[in-house]
Amino acid sequence: MAVTVKKRSVKNFIKEWKDRGREKQESQTFWLSLLRDVLDIEKPEEFIKFEEKVKLSHDSFIDGYIDQTHVMIEQKSSNKDLDKTIKQSDGSLLTPFQQAQRYSAALPYSRRPRWIVTCNFKEFRIYDMENPNSKPVKVELRNLDTNYYQLEFLVDKSNKHIKREKQVSLNAGELVGKIYDELLKQYKNPDI
């Protein structure tokens, strides 16, 4: 996607979501739109799974999970502070990150996330589980037009869109090489 088209798509996404944010009613639409309109996933409904069951002492559900990139998403409403604890269905008090960590611990090792993302529609917090003690990267929705690249880890870099962009780059390189060769032929002594 051309940079100007990408910027326009991201700005439209920001405008669409700046005043919205109900967890139960809008989470899935939000993530599908983000993946499709900002990160160029052609069929996001085939890329992300929602409400995947995880067995704790009770049945619980992971808000979003992306298998290809091992990303777990814990989504909250826009009025929820991502630093504050929230009462869970079993009565425990956990922050969204702690809630996601609890889900992660209940998954088979091969399915545990590399990345945990907590989000309240206004802000994304990205936790790299390769560095579990580091502070999360914070990306605000209002600044997404300049920081959308920080969410690119969500998508699998081997998807068809990325391959297509790589091929376009290779083709452009070949074309520049041919132009150079043709220009070089116009000089009488090209070795000087």
pLDDT of residue 183: 77
What is the arithmetic mean of pLDDT over 120-133? 96
pTM of the model: 0.79
Residue 119 identity (one-letter amino acid) = C
pLDDT of residue 164: 46
Per the structure, the complete domain to which residue 187 belongs is given by: 158-192
Do 134 and 47 sit in the same domain of this protein? yes
Domain count, the chain: 2
Do 102 and 169 sit in the same domain of this protein? no
Name the least confident of 93-97, 116-120, 158-162.
158-162
Do 26 and 90 sit in the same domain of this protein? yes
Do 98 and 176 sit in the same domain of this protein? no
How many alpha carbons lie under 13 Å from residue 171 in its C-beta half-sphere? Answer: 6
Name the least confident of 36-45, 156-165, 178-187.
156-165
Do 114 and 163 sit in the same domain of this protein? no
Percent residues over pLDDT 90 in the chain:
71
Do 111 and 180 sit in the same domain of this protein? no
